Amino acid sequence: MTETSAYSRLEAIFRKAATIGEALSVLHWDMAAMMPDGGAEARAEQLAALKGIVHETITAPEVADLLAAAEAEPTDPWESANLREMRRDWVHASSLPADLVAALARAESTCEMIWRQARPAGDFAQVLPSLSELLARVRDVGGIKAERLGLAVYDALLDQYEPDGRAADIDPVFDHLDSFLPGFIGDVLEAQARRPVPLAPPGPFPADRQKALGLRMMAVLGFDFRHGRLDVSHHPFCGGYPADTRITTRYDEDDFASALMGVLHETGHALYEFGLPGGRWRSQPVGRARGMVMHESQSLLMEMQACRSRDFMMFAAPTIRQTFGAEGPAWEADNLFRRSIGVERGFIRVEADEVTYPAHVIIRYRLEKALIQGDMKPADLPAAWNEGYARLLGISPPDHRLGCLQDIHWYGGSWGYFPTYTLGAMTAAQLFDAATGAVPDILPGIGRGDFSPLLAWLRTNVHGKGSLLSTRELITAATGRPLDPAVFERHLRQRYLG
């Protein structure tokens, strides 16, 4: 392509938008990990202004004509895929007036900061007004995009996180899980009760030692500390951008495993970011991760498939013992492994085992769909949340901190995100099954603390593809078939009832 071609001019426009987006990512990370509460109002304005610039850049009057002209030019497969993703971005962005983009950004920042105060207090009433305002803006956005895309409002919001994701495809999968999970959870708990109860390693576990352990295991998985770091936040997440990837966790001095597994989970996200296409594609839409189903698959593949395996715990146990200066039966690899796959009907999604985890997601998916569609009011959320937990998991949260206030997503503006977690868990199982089948040294390597065979397979089959392919095409190319829930269920049966 010549520098004056329509396609090349588009690359320059989207490069500018991506660069500003990288700055936004670091500001979001800072707001969650470092910023004092007093900076919230100013930060909201900063984020709104920068998002406005990104919006103006992508929706500039010439972009529509450039897209049409570029689509008539000869392009190679990567350029064609980049154009497809550019048009997707443009359609989403050009659907919205600039004042709504700014209003949404302010509502998101305001609601998130109030949630940070309301969550530890378990005070849903405190955040309800700002949540209602934010939901109204989200529904405004969803309504406009739905009309432009020819989709239902929820699907238009879901499409922002999972391109081409549709509730009509998700509902039957989740309905099947809904019928499978309660009985399977009961079977697993009965089988677990027949085995000796794993010993609990005695604490406390100082946060500084937990951090040292997390950093050590991040390095084992392949985290690049020249281009990333580990910090603390209210809610664990992976932020920044590929050249500067920030992950966070939170520490409980009574339970080292919670933070450790959280770190391993977020490291999976970071490894995906590190492995995305570089060079020319780094700042282009085609160079981004392929939606949140694939992103969640990478975190859950590392945490659930690889690091909760017996192979990994055989390697990790000596380091865990050394970190905490401990000895005894509770610190042996087999005991730590059995604790790492323990199943419990718990309240907290991010601490849930992989058997009960899909139930947490199904509940949230159905609630956010009802709120977006106007079938439920925000004030009714706590009662509906508790009812969902009672039906699907047989428990009821004692307070809102352990209930509808626990996740940042809705209060930060991420509506339509939740189904990607369980779809990601299914994808993780299928990718790991394909990887270990293709490369026999992956599991022995994990047992030696060598993740390079697994990472090499992921770099080739997932990370390095960026957004070249659709999610369905990417899964099919990597595993030989589209997403098949039976692989996930087989994994659960083998690990927990085998």
Cα(483)–Cα(488) distance, rounded to whole angstroms? 10
For each successive 10 residues of the chain (498 residues), what is the average pLDDT?
A: 87 97 95 92 91 94 97 96 96 90 92 95 98 97 95 96 94 92 95 95 96 98 97 90 95 95 96 96 97 96 97 98 96 96 93 93 97 96 97 95 96 95 96 98 97 98 98 97 94 94
Q: Could you write out the three-class secondary structure of the chain?
A: CCCCCHHHHHHHHHHHHHHHHHHHHHHHHHHHHCCCHHHHHHHHHHHHHHHHHHHHHHCCHHHHHHHHHHCCCCCCHHHHHHHHHHHHHHHHHHCCCHHHHHHHHHHHHHHHHHHHHHHHHCCHHHHHHHHHHHHHHHHHHHHHHHHHHCCCHHHHHHHHHCCCCCHHHHHHHHHHHHHHHHHHHHHHHHHHHCCCCCCCCCCCCCHHHHHHHHHHHHHHHCCCHHHEEEEECCCCCEEEECCEEEEEECCECCEHHHHHHHHHHHHHHHHHHHHCCCHHHCCCHHHCCCHHHHHHHHHHHHHHHHCCCHHHHHHHHHHHHHHHCCCCHHHCHHHHHHHHCCCCCCCCHHHCCCCCHHHHHHHHHHHHHHHHHCCCCHHHHHHHHHHHHHHHCCCCCCCCCCCCCCCCHHHHCCCCCCHHHHHHHHHHHHHHHHHHHHCCCHHHHHHCCCCHHHHHHHHHHCHHHCCCCCHHHHHHHHHCCCCCHHHHHHHHHHHHHC
Which value, in Å, is the radius of gyration of the alpha carbons in the chain? Answer: 22
Catalytic residue IDs: 266
Distance separating alpha carbons of residues 449 and 217, to the nearest angstrom: 9
Centre a 10 Å sphere on the Cβ of residue 344 and count the other Cβ atoms it contains. 15
Q: What is the pLDDT of residue 140?
A: 97
The whole-number pLDDT of residue 234 equals 81
Closest Cα partner for 226 from 240, 243, 211, 209? 243
User: Which has the closest alpha carbon to 213: 317, 60, 311?
Assistant: 317
- Euclidean distance between CA atoms 246 and 68, whole angstroms: 37
- The count of other CB atoms within 10 Å of the CB of residue 293 is 27
CA 238/CA 29 separation, integer angstroms: 8
pLDDT at 356: 96
* Per-residue pLDDT, 218: 98
Token pair 């495809």 is at which residue?
169
Return the closest-CA partner of residue 93 out of 55, 142, 140.
Answer: 55
Q: Tell which residue, 372, 301, 424, 14, has the closest CA to residue 158.
A: 372
Q: What is the pLDDT of residue 1?
A: 65
Cβ-contact 119, 401 below 8 angstroms: yes
**Residue 1, class by beta-carbon neighbours within 10 Å (0-12 exposed, 13-18 middle, 19+ buried)?**
middle
78 token code pair: 């990567």
CA within 13 Å, CB half, 45: 3
Q: Please give the model's pTM, rounded to 2 decimal places.
A: 0.91
Strands 244-249 and 238-241: antiparallel
152-177 in b/e form (b: 16+ CB < 10 A) is bbbbbbbbbbbbebebeebeebbeeb
